[in-house]
Structure 1
Amino acid sequence: MKLFAGVEGKARLAGLFILGAMAARIFGDAVVRAALVVPGNGRETARNIADYPWLYRAGEGADVAMLCGMIVATALLYALFVPTGRTLARMAAVMSLTGIATLAASGLMTMAPPILLDGAPHPGIGTAEVHSLVQLSLALGQAGQGMGRIFIGLYLSLIGLLAFRSGRLPKAVGVGLALGGFSQMAVRSAALIAPDMADATVIQADIVALLAEAAFALSLLIFWRPRPFPARSEADL
């Protein structure tokens, strides 16, 4: 299809995959887990998951779709921005893949509750212990997700810098993405040190990064414009 041909086509595809990954993340976090997970209450959470196992598994499927979309978007953005700065593009790709791998590992923990609840109570494990394990697995998954978002925040900052340098997108889009990614990285890092102090701002930082990423994705769909590639010495930076 001509719509997705050439460099402009890669930009449109990258924008679509970014938006798709964002939609999957919103469904998994803001719809499924927000409805089923009761913070600090393993018994109620276990009851909700047991009552709506199909919804919880739909959230797991959305997480997998998000990770797949992020991988494809990473590859496409690397191809788009490597002429602008080879070193920065490689660093960004490494940060993205590291973050994706961390998110995937944390996803294994969030897959545990349905397994624990299937056929519970298990021999040697009472119902109360199962509820505690459900809460623990979700807490570990949340901690792993926070770690992954630190790498993703750094990735967004580097991509924002590349977008700013490339001249193929509005400068404001690159600045916004870089700042959004940096805020997410900074707040998520602070949450590791002082989780109680940073907890109130984590959601806000994630929303800022999400909005900046959405603006970037829409710009890839609409505003990407061809431009001569920089000289080799400039592209190596």
Structure 2
Amino acid sequence: MPSPRFLTATARLAGWCYLVTIVAGMAGALVAAPRLSTLATLLSLVFYAGVTLFMYRLFVAAGPVLARLAAVISLVGCGVGVLQELELPAGPVKSLVFFGIYCLLTSCLIWRSGLLPRWLGALLVLTGLGWLSFLSSRLVHFIAPYPMVSGLVGEGALTLWLLLGKVPAAGAAGPTPAAGETRVSNTKQLIR
């Protein structure tokens, strides 16, 4: 497990990248000038890639395969978002769908690692489901503005925690054992 200092620094860097992502993304959605809007949105996607890399560093010890999968999906979402923003062919799936999957995987990593409060993982599940609603434009229009509100609440709370929260000491939180692991390790101790 990485040192508490490393974990705290990584969490803070992820938090700052998240904050810029949220502010730039909101500016991109609200600014009327098309060029400024595009620039702000592209900036938010670049910083979301930074969020992805720092979150990977934070959670890789808790689940290397899951952390890699989450990072790849998020980076694909960033790439799709850039293509969509520049009005280039990007395929039929919106970038927010990739970010929805990323949020669901990150919630699993939060739950498993013990590094962040589990209620943040629960909020990210709601955020991920909200972003996944972008698979259907009819559904998004029907339930609007809830996907955006859940995104702001879930990722906003995560951002604040990354910036201000306390990261547990190395080994204090550790990964939550998978179902059956405790029983197996207890059995091994009895055999010794």
SS at the partner of 1:72? Answer: helix
- Return the alpha-carbon distance in structure 1 between the equivalents of residues 149 and 101 of structure 2: 16
1:1-237 to 2 correspondences below 5 Å: 6-29=6-29, 31-32=30-31, 36=32, 55-109=33-87, 147-185=94-132, 187-191=133-137, 195=138, 197-226=139-168, 227-228=170-171, 230=174
**Contact 2:130/2:146 (8 A) holds in 1:** no
SS at the partner of 1:109? Answer: coil
**Contact 1:11/1:224 (8 A) holds in 2:** no
Unmatched tracts of structure 2, length 5 or more: 179-192
Runs (4+) of structure 1 exceeding 6 A deviation are none
Unmatched tracts of structure 1, length 5 or more: 37-54, 111-139
Greater Rg by CA: 1
- Return the alpha-carbon distance in structure 2 between the equivalents of residues 214 and 74 of structure 1: 15
Task: Calculate the aligned-residue CA RMSD, in Å.
Answer: 2.4
Residue correspondences, number: 171
**Contact 2:7/2:167 (8 A) holds in 1:** no
**Contact 2:63/2:109 (8 A) holds in 1:** yes
Give the share of equivalent positions with the same residue, in percent: 29
CA 1:198 to 1:63, structure 2 compared with 1: closer, same or farther past 3 Å? closer
Q: Structure 2 length normalisation: TM-score? A: 0.80
Give 1:15 deviation, angstroms. Answer: 0.6
Structure with greater helix share of residues? 1
Q: Structure 1 length normalisation: TM-score? A: 0.66
Give 1:20 deviation, angstroms. Answer: 0.7
